[in-house]
Structure 1
C-alpha cells in the first residue's frame, strides 16, 4: 500500500502513528500504518511506512478499528443523572470502542424538545465527556414550532414515538400529529427517527413473566407502525429511520420501501441479535426487559440475514439504563431498557464471527453506517484520510467473561452477566488523543461543523 497523503521527515513529524497487521479500512482488512496530525488522519501507508511521529504505537496482530458511532444512547442527564449521566456513559462508551455517541432526547428532564432544553442539555454535558457527543431533538404533541429552532441549533434529527414512551413528559404523536411533524422535518431536510409500535396492537401483560410481556408487544405491533411510517414517507418525502427493530415481520415492508427508492432505513441492537427468550432466567430477570421485546431464535436469524442484505443498515446499543430499584419486581412492572453501551462491540463481534462475518462488516454496521445516518460520514466512522482520528485497538481473539462490576456505566446491571465473549477493547483514541478515563476531552457535536 502506498502512502495516501502527507510527507514524512524530521521537520514534519506526525503527532501519532498507529501500526496494525489488521487495520480495518474502507477497502477491507489489511496491514497498515495510520498517521495522525492535529486530530485528523493525515496519511495511511504500508505497515512499515517510514512515518516520523512524536508517538508511535505498534499493535501487532491487535486489530485497528474506526471508532464506533452509537446513534442511540440514553444518557438521561440532566434530571435523571442517578440513572446514568455524561461522565459515566462516555467512560463506558470509550471502554467499549464507541468514540461518538448521539444522545436521545428522553429521559432527561427537561426532554430535548425545544431550543432552551437543548441549551440546558449542552450545559450539563460540557467538560465531562470522554468521547464526542451529539444530540437528537424530540417531536412530541405541541412542539411543531420548536422543530426548526432545534434543527438550526444542530440536532441530528428528531425522535418520536407512536406509543407510550414510558415517561409522561415525552408523549407519543397521534397519526395526524406525526404527519404534520414529518412534513415539517421534510421541509427542513431533517431526519425522523421513530419508535415504531402500534398502540392499538399493544396490551397490558397478563402476568409477570417474560412470555406474558412479550405477548403484550407482538410483532404485528411493530409491522403496523412500520407500514404507517412508510406511508407517511410516501406522502411527505421525509427521510425516516426505524429505531431498535426487533420483529422480522417488518423486513418485508422495509425491503419493499427501499426497493422503491423511499428514504427509509432501520437499525437493530445487540440484544435482538444475540438474546432469546430461553436466556431469560425467570420473572425477576428484568435486565432482559426492553421495548420492543427480545424475540425467538428464528426471528433473530432473520435479522442477521437482513443485516447482511442491507435492509437493516446499523447496529446500535439503545443503551437505556435506569436506577436499580426500577428494575425490581417482574416483567409487568420493571423499567424496560437494556444497558449495553460498553459491551455492544464484543457482543456483536462474538455473534457475527460465529456466522462468518468479518471485522469489516462489524465496522460497517457499527461505525460507517451510523455515521452516515446522522450526516457525520465526512468525519466519522471510517479510517480514511481527512477523517477524525477516532481509532480503537481491538483484540478480536481475546476472550473474557462479563463481570458487571467492571462495567463503567453508572449501575452494574446487564443481561450479559457471566456470558463468555470474544473481543477486548485495549485502547481508544478520540481525534488522536488516547482516552485515559481521567481527562474528558470529548467535543459537543452539531449537525453542521462550526
Structure 2
C-alpha cells in the first residue's frame, strides 16, 4: 500500500544545499518527507532525473490589473504556473480602483479567487486623502504587506505619499508586524530632470534614464530607511537598479534596521547599452534599466547576500502602449512571470554561483518577507507541496508562441535561455506539465499572513 499521494524525484535545491538523487514525498497537499536515494511508495511518482527540484517561486511584485480588460488573474497566474511560480503577490494599484479599504481588499480577493490558477497574496495601500485610518483594518482583512510610493505615477491609481504621511503610515504598519514596501523615486529630482530632458529635445531610448538620475533613487531609499528606523517598521524597497542602493540597505541592517530590498529580474539580465537601446519602449520601467556596470554590481551584491528577493514587477501592457519611438510616451513595466526563474538560474550557472541562491531569492526570503513561511517558500516537512522543476532546455524564447502570455511580446523575446520550468506543482497537484498549464481558473487560493508570526517578527 502506498504511503504517500505523490513522490517527486530529482536534484533537490534548498537554501541549505543541493541533494542529488533526492525526493519529496507528498501527502494531503503537504510535504511529508524529504530524502535521498530509494523513495517510498506513492500513488504516483514523478521522476525528473537530474532536473532541479526547487520550492515553488513566490513573485513579490505583480500587477495583474494595471490595464483594464487586459490581463487579470486568469492570465497573470497562467504565466506564473508556466514559469514555476506558485504564489504571486499582487500590487494594489489596479486600473480604476486603489486597494485602500478592507472592503476593496476583500472584493479583489474574491474576484481573484475565481480566476487564479496559482495562489496569491495581496498588497494594500492607502488613499492619501484618507490618511492612515484604514491600515489596521486592512491588516486584519488579510493584507500581506503595504505599498506606498514616493513618486506620483498617477494621482488616483498610483499616488505619491508625502514624507509626513509616509512616516505616519510606517508607524501604523509597524503595529501590524507587516512590511511597508515603497516605490523609491524622489518626485522633485525627477521633475527637474524631466524638464531638462524635454528642453534638450531628447526623445530616444536615452530619455528615460536621463529623466530618472541615480540620486532620485538613492534619496528615496534613504528616506524610506530613515523612516523605518524612526518608527520601528520593516522597510522594504520594492525595486532597486543601483549597486549603491544595496550598499545602503546593508548599512542600515548593520545599524539594526529591518531594511530589505528587491531586485527585479530585468535589472539582473538587461542593461541600457545592450537592451534598452534595442527594445526602446518595451524596456521602459521605473526605476529604469541602467548601464552594464550597474547590472554587474547587482550580481556582486547577490553573491554577497545583499539582495533580499528577486521579482518581475510583471505587467502586461498592450503592445500599443509600449511601441512609441518617443521613449517617454510609453507605459512603464514589462511581463516576466514565465521566465523569471529560468533567467535567474541561467545567471547563477553562468557565474558559477550556488543554486541555493535561487531557493532563497525566489522562495524562502519572499515567504518570510510576507509572513507566510509557515506554509510557503520551502522544501520542508509541513509546508505546502509547492514545487518548481527546472531543467536544461536551451531555446530561443518566443513569448507569443508559448501560449501562456496575454500579450505577444516580451523584453526577453529572441533571447537564448538555457533553463526552463518543466513542471510546476501547487499543493501537490501538477498545474504545469512543461507544455500546458493544467490548472483551471479558481485553483489558486488567497494566502494571508500568519498574524502571530507577523507580531512576533515586529517585536524582535
**Which band: TM-score by shorter chain?**
over 0.9
**Offset of residue 449 of structure 1:** 8.3
**Offset of residue 438 of structure 1:** 4.6
Partner of 2:43: helix, strand, or coil?
strand
Partner of 2:50: helix, strand, or coil?
coil
Label 1:166 to 1:408 Cα distance change in 2 as closer, same or farther (>3 A).
farther
Question: Any stretches of 5+ residues in structure 1 without a counterpart?
Answer: 1-9
Question: Any stretches of 5+ residues in structure 2 without a counterpart?
Answer: 432-436, 453-460
1:273-322 deviation digits (Å, cap 9, x = unpaired): 11111223658721100000001111111111112222221111110222
**Offset of residue 46 of structure 1:** 2.0
Matches of 1:97 and 1:387 in 2, distance apart? Answer: 17
Task: Name the structure 2 match of 1:54.
Answer: 43
Matches of 1:239 and 1:438 in 2, distance apart? Answer: 35
1:233-257 deviation digits (Å, cap 9, x = unpaired): 1211111100111112223322210
**Are the counterparts in 2 of residues 276 and 295 from structure 1 also a CA contact under 8 Å?**
yes
Task: Name the structure 2 match of 1:41.
Answer: 31
Label 1:438 to 1:447 Cα distance change in 2 as closer, same or farther (>3 A).
closer
Counting only pairs closer than 5 Å after superposition, residues 50-449 of structure 1 correspond to structure 2 as 51-76=40-65, 80-141=67-128, 142-166=130-154, 168-202=156-190, 203-204=193-194, 205-206=197-198, 207-280=202-275, 282=277, 285-329=280-324, 330-395=326-391, 397-405=392-400, 406-435=402-431, 436-440=437-441, 441-448=443-450
Label 1:325 to 1:126 Cα distance change in 2 as closer, same or farther (>3 A).
same
Label 1:425 to 1:449 Cα distance change in 2 as closer, same or farther (>3 A).
farther
**Are the counterparts in 2 of residues 67 and 99 from structure 1 also a CA contact under 8 Å?**
yes
Matches of 2:209 and 2:183 in 1, distance apart? Answer: 17
**Offset of residue 358 of structure 1:** 2.8
1:47-97 deviation digits (Å, cap 9, x = unpaired): 213x121111111111111100111001117xx443311011101001000
**Are the counterparts in 1 of residues 124 and 138 from structure 2 also a CA contact under 8 Å?**
yes
Question: Which TM-score applies when normalising by structure 2?
Answer: 0.91
**Offset of residue 407 of structure 1:** 4.8
Question: Aligned residues, how many?
Answer: 435
**Are the counterparts in 1 of residues 246 and 261 from structure 2 also a CA contact under 8 Å?**
no
**Are the counterparts in 2 of residues 284 and 328 from structure 1 also a CA contact under 8 Å?**
no
Matches of 2:259 and 2:28 in 1, distance apart? Answer: 36
**Offset of residue 392 of structure 1:** 1.5
**Are the counterparts in 1 of residues 276 and 289 from structure 2 also a CA contact under 8 Å?**
no
Bigger proportion of residues as helix? 2
**Are the counterparts in 2 of residues 138 and 158 from structure 1 also a CA contact under 8 Å?**
yes
